[in-house]
Amino acid sequence: MSRYGRLSVFLMGLFLFSSLPSIAAGDENAPKADDLPNIRKNGELKILMTASEELDALPRRVSPRDYDRGLLMCVAERLALRLKFVFKERFEDLIPALLAGEGDVIADNLAIYEDRAKIISYTMPICKIHDQIITSSRNKKVNRDSDLSGRTLHYEKGTGYIKSLEKLKKEIPSIKIEEAPEGIDTETLMHMVAMGKYELAISDTNYTESFQTYRDDIKTIYTFPEMQYTAWGMRHESNALRMIADNVIKENLDDYGKPIMKGDLDAIMKRKVLRILTRNNPICYFIHKGKIMGFEYELAAEFAKRLGLYPVIIVPPNWSNLIPWLADGKGDIVAAAVTKTEKRLKNPDISFCEPYCVNINKIVGRVSEKPFSSVDDLKGRKVALRKNSAYWETMQKLKKEGLDVELVPVSEGLETFEIIDKVAKGEYDLTVADQYILKLEMMRRNDIAELFSIGPEERYCWVVRRESPKLKKAVDDFFKKEYKGVFYNTVFNRYFKNPKIMLEQNLVSSDKVRISDYDPYIKKYSARYDVHWLLIASQIFQESRFNPRVVSSAGAIGLMQVEPATGLEMGFGDVKKDEDNIHAGIKYLYRQKNKIREKIHEKDKLCFALASYNAGYGHVLDARRLAEKLELDPCRWFDNVEKCMLLLEKPEYAKSAKYGYCRGSEPVKYVREILLRYKLYLEAEEDLKQKPAHDANLP
């Protein structure tokens, strides 16, 4: 949109804002009391949003919520307050929570409606949207609004969509409008429409565009012509807070929602959002237990934090898109284990920053092969590689030097770990991987081998646009200070040296129905949450081998490997205490189990809960949705959803999953081993019951 177009939208928004009831604009009749002193007293600005403490999804673009967070950081900075996000499961709970004082601002795609303005105050408009009717892309019977007669359309309870639907009902009286069941939000409705469970639903342009970043199985039937505006919501007495928020919005509205933005560090500092272009893989960036992880992500997030910026991850479709997207202004930095190559160095649009992380590339083959004695052992072999990768350039040089090797180009969408998988299965002969990717793969599988080191030593670099010298200097200063320092080494060791900090311990024999010294705690809290104590004992063995001092690479601690943030979420200030750690872990498992609301077999519900405990609920949700698409049973774990967990390791499936890549073999193994051990514990307990009483040695 042109600057003139944005100005027109802005002026229209101001007109709409001025037309709202006077209480929203703060006229003479509005309450004079102001709650900003109380907000300051608490030291934090509480932001109400839907979803949960876990991520809404794998970020693949800068979303309206990301822009909001950048603006909210500006507001909090001006007030010298901390930002705290308060999550509610249902949209309809946001306004009651605001009025009850649970939060100070609603920032959640909140449309401006006159009846709402009687209850809450709005800031000035931020974003324009249109409501839309969507259906499955496979639905050939409905293609336009004239096809809607006599059909049923669903909407999320408590949303303003009903206003658009009431207007539609007047135009098409035969259309049936139904409220979705309790707990079904708009995004879930869209999935149900895509799968054909409902024929039609209503969303808005923000929801539709977000859904279509990872799914291509819905289509828009009708876009309502009425333009609507979203804003933040506040209590009527938040006059001073609203004025400060309005000033921040006015100053930054010109950049809000723009997919392409350039400018150097000063422009980035103004909008408070750092856009990081990277890849969704085990080294760069992935989601584990609802938490963003990855070597490159942690470095980039710390860099953003030092500058007071909010990091936003953007994952282009292919490796080959990273640098073009940067040059086009779709991101600010490429942080994706990129190395310098002759081709990249000739690109006039980019600059390489201070190097870090020494790497040596490896020839990868199957475990049955003997290591190469020299590069000549590559003669006559086929090496599968992405054509735009640095590996390709390395191998091309060897070919030019006379080495008789065939290079096999593969899809640019394939990650290196997936090419390795195809080598292991015999689909490709050989490939090349950097030493860190190979090390991670060799830790989780025993069918591949390092055959030879190839090419010169190289180092990773972040990449910025040539026109961003201030940003480049900030990155250079960061790595000059941090490379091989305490922070860098901690992150490096977490992913590449000690990815599984786990001490093995021999299990106390179960033939006495005494599993560990912690049995009293396990029994106490298992009974409270209605789960068998031997299952929890099996899970604790899986997590920590009953070693309370274990600390995982993700920062989880103790017997049940509970992260401190999760402990706080469960109501525990210190999960280092053994009893609290066990209590928090069992309570968290119980919560994961209760997220499965369908009436399904208890054993399957337990499997889903364990898999969620290990990998995060989002990945389990993705696997269940994938099971539906593949005509498997989404309510059964074994041979159904577990198969789909494994498929989420493959980029062709991960790119269409809401939460992206998942190392699915880990939760599959986790569930199987816990249940097998649980079965053995139960058998031992049953055998003991059948023995004479004097033989039993109960705790």
Residues with a known catalytic role: 543
What are the residues facing 448 on neighbouring strands? Answer: 366
What are the residues facing 378 on neighbouring strands? Answer: none
**371 contacts: CB under 8 Å, gap ≥ 6:** 449, 450, 451, 452
Q: Which of 608, 625, 595, 620 is nearest to 215 (CA)?
A: 625
The C-alpha atoms of residue 80 and residue 82 are separated, in whole angstroms, by 7
334: helix, strand or coil:
strand
φ/ψ bin of 545: left (φ > 0), alpha (ψ from -120 to 50), beta (otherwise): left
Asked if residue 45 lies in contact with residue 75, where contact means CB atoms within 8 angstroms, the answer is yes
CA angle 516/517/518 to nearest 5° reads 85
**100 contacts: CB under 8 Å, gap ≥ 6:** none
Q: Which residue has the tokens 């024999």?
A: 509
Dihedral pair phi/psi, residue 309, rounded to 5°: -115, 155
Residues composing the chain: 699
Q: Which of 163, 159, 143 is nearest to 151 (CA)?
A: 143
In this structure, is the dihedral angle defined by the CA atoms of residues 271, 273, 276 and 280, taken in order, positive or negative?
A: negative
The C-alpha atoms of residue 324 and residue 270 are separated, in whole angstroms, by 24
The H or E element spanning position 10 is helix 3-18
The C-alpha atoms of residue 672 and residue 675 are separated, in whole angstroms, by 5
The C-alpha atoms of residue 628 and residue 644 are separated, in whole angstroms, by 10
Q: What is the DSSP letter of 506?
A: P
Q: Which of 437, 559, 576 is nearest to 567 (CA)?
A: 576
| Alpha-carbon distances of 29 from 21, 32, 98, 122, rounded to whole Å | 11, 8, 21, 16
For the purposes of burial, counting CB atoms within 10 Å of the CB of 460, is it exposed (0-12), middle (13-18) or buried (19 or more)? buried
Which residue type, as a one-letter code, is found at position 142?
V
The C-alpha atoms of residue 225 and residue 572 are separated, in whole angstroms, by 50
Q: Which of 456, 342, 421, 358 is nearest to 646 (CA)?
A: 421
State the CB neighbour count (10 A cutoff) for residue 369: 14
Q: Which stretches within 616-641 are classed as H helix?
A: 617-629
Asked if residue 230 lies in contact with residue 49, where contact means CB atoms within 8 angstroms, the answer is no
Alpha-carbon dihedral 444, 448, 450, 456, rounded to 10 degrees:
-80
| Alpha-carbon distances of 139 from 142, 144, 146, 216, 671, rounded to whole Å | 6, 11, 15, 13, 37
What are the residues facing 408 on neighbouring strands? Answer: 384
Which of 624-627's residues contact partners 24+ apart within 8 Å by CB, and which partners? 625/191, 625/195, 625/657, 625/658, 626/653, 626/657
The C-alpha atoms of residue 652 and residue 318 are separated, in whole angstroms, by 11
Asked if residue 49 lies in contact with residue 86, where contact means CB atoms within 8 angstroms, the answer is yes
Q: Which of 62, 82, 28, 210 is nearest to 134 (CA)?
A: 210
The structure tokens listed for 514 are 């005494």
